[in-house]
Amino acid sequence: MRRRASLAALGLALLAACGPQPDKSAKSVGEEREPMPAPLTAIQSSSITLPTDEQTFGAGQDAALLDRSCLACHSASMILYQPPLTRKQWTATVDKMREAYRAPIEARDTEAIVDALMAKAPSSR
């Protein structure tokens, strides 16, 4: 009987020693905290003005042909902002669009397309 009582006392003592301990490092609400470190950069609002993006080549037959041939993959601006190209260079570009990138252009329309590009896009003759 005595032995059982001492075992129970030992169990209680172990529980008290190993049970959850109050966290002495935790601070209660409202208590002073360490200050936040200063941010590395200051974030500011700013605005930029984007250039106008011409979606089509405008009015006229040349424009309509280029709209049909090129706009599936490019904006008109992308083509109009190219450096001035010669007829030979524009022809090579149109051929590349058809052959390498599978632009839906008939080979027999290449000349008309290049004429339109020479008229509309930057070109050097």
| Virtual torsion, Cα 108, 110, 111, 116, nearest 10 deg | 140
Applying CB under 6 A, among 73, 84, 99, 106 the residue interacting with ligand HEC is: 73
Task: Report which residue type is found at 47.
Answer: S
Q: Name the segment binding ligand HEC (CB under 6 A); options: 23-31, 32-40, 41-49, 67-75.
A: 67-75
CA dist list (Å): 29 to 17, 21, 34, 36, 43? 28, 19, 13, 17, 30
As a whole number of angstroms, the distance between CA 117 and CA 84 comes to 10
Is 94 near ligand HEC (CB under 6 A)?
yes
CB of 81 to ligand HEC, least distance (A): 9
Applying CB under 6 A, among 57, 62, 76, 79 the residue interacting with ligand HEC is: 79
As a whole number of angstroms, the distance between CA 7 and CA 100 comes to 88
As a whole number of angstroms, the distance between CA 70 and CA 60 comes to 15
Is 76 near ligand HEC (CB under 6 A)?
no
Is 82 near ligand HEC (CB under 6 A)?
yes
Is 97 near ligand HEC (CB under 6 A)?
yes
Q: Which residues bind ligand HEC (CB under 6 A)?
A: 69-70, 72-74, 79, 82, 93-94, 96-97, 101-103, 105, 113, 117
